[in-house]
Amino acid sequence: MPKKVKKYTFKFFKALAVITFASAALFPVVLNVLASLLEPSFFDNKIAVGDFKYYSLFGGTAFTPSRYAEIVNGQFLRAALNTTFYAFSISALSLAVSLPAAYALAKFKLRLEKAMLMTAVTVLMLPPVAVCVPNFIIFDKLNLIGSPFAMILPGIFSGLAILVFRQFMLAVPDDVLFAAAIDGAGSFGIFFKIMLPQIKGAVFSVFILIFARSCNLAEQSVILLKNNEWTPVAVYLRERFLNSPDLILAPVSVIALFFVLVVVTSKRIFSLSPSDEFSFRDE
């Protein structure tokens, strides 16, 4: 093969990889938004081909925004507000708890460091439902069953936040902190003025991540809340979904577009490892 042809073939495959990769993330979102605008009858009219029935793409279906009436439904709004409240309080409090803890784990010499790391890794992998029943007993003793705090408290203690922050803090050289100490900064001064500004990117990424994970709160609400008005949106949507899958197209489009907006408007690359400065091989 001539060298030039080889070069262009290579370029073509690179471009193909780029396009595939980019569209892969957005593809279902776009599809969902389109589907949410279709007439409700679209999902009932199927045409039979062979042994199976298929949706007819060219069956004269019109576009209509009627599904979006689902969003102004009072129950959905209340559930969405609940989840927003849970997510914001969990992620904010979780930062407040994890940042100092990660600092202690990264920069102090602690005797039980290994045990604490193991606890963090375990909590990272453990699904909430595994500690659901014992937590129920604890909250029952504290008289918190049915209140939103029962949902918020366990979520604050996030293994992921501690592990990620610790990785970033390990990458900050000790000499910098040492220099600040010599210049007279106190322990808290070093933490707030030297350490935190250097890991801003991680704080942002982890905030978004915990926010998103808190939107998943579902099973524990059944026993911790007894299905009262504090039900999270995931439970509400799941019930609608099991009723009929096309009912939640509109709310889901809105939620998905919200997350797309978060990703598009954020200036930096989300990162869970200590460098958001990417460079490439020949850079």
For 57-123, the DSSP string reads TTS-PPB-GGGGGGGG-HHHHHHHHHHHHHHHHHHHHHHHHHHHHHHHHHHS--TTHHHHHHHHHHH
Nearer to other proteins, 225 or 252 (CB): 252
**Residue 97, by phi and psi: left (phi above 0), alpha (psi -120 to 50) or beta?**
alpha
Which class for 259: exposed (0-12), middle (13-18), buried (19 or more C-beta within 10 A)? middle
Q: By CB under 8 A, which span of 1-9, 66-74, 126-134 interacts with other proteins?
A: 126-134
Nearer to other proteins, 64 or 126 (CB): 126
Integer Cα distance of 233 and 256 in angstroms: 14
Judged by CB under 8 A, the chain residues 199 through 258 that form the site for other proteins are 205, 208-209, 211-212, 215-216, 218-219, 222-223, 234, 237-238, 241-242, 245-246, 248-249, 252, 255-256
Judged by CB under 8 A, the chain residues 80 through 109 that form the site for other proteins are 96-98, 100-101, 103-105, 107-109
Judged by CB under 8 A, the chain residues 24 through 83 that form the site for other proteins are 24-26, 28-29, 31-32, 35, 46, 49-50, 52-55, 57
- Interacting residue with other proteins among 9, 12, 18, 63 (CB under 8 A): 18
CA-wise closest residue to 80 among 190, 193, 230? 230
Helix (H, G, I), strand (E, B) or coil at 27: helix
Helix (H, G, I), strand (E, B) or coil at 189: helix
Nearer to other proteins, 145 or 170 (CB): 170
- Shortest spacing between CB 218 and other proteins, in angstroms: 7
Amino acid at 244: S
- Shortest spacing between CB 208 and other proteins, in angstroms: 6
Query: Residues touching other proteins: how many (CB under 8 A)?
Result: 117
- Interacting residue with other proteins among 171, 196, 198, 204 (CB under 8 A): 171
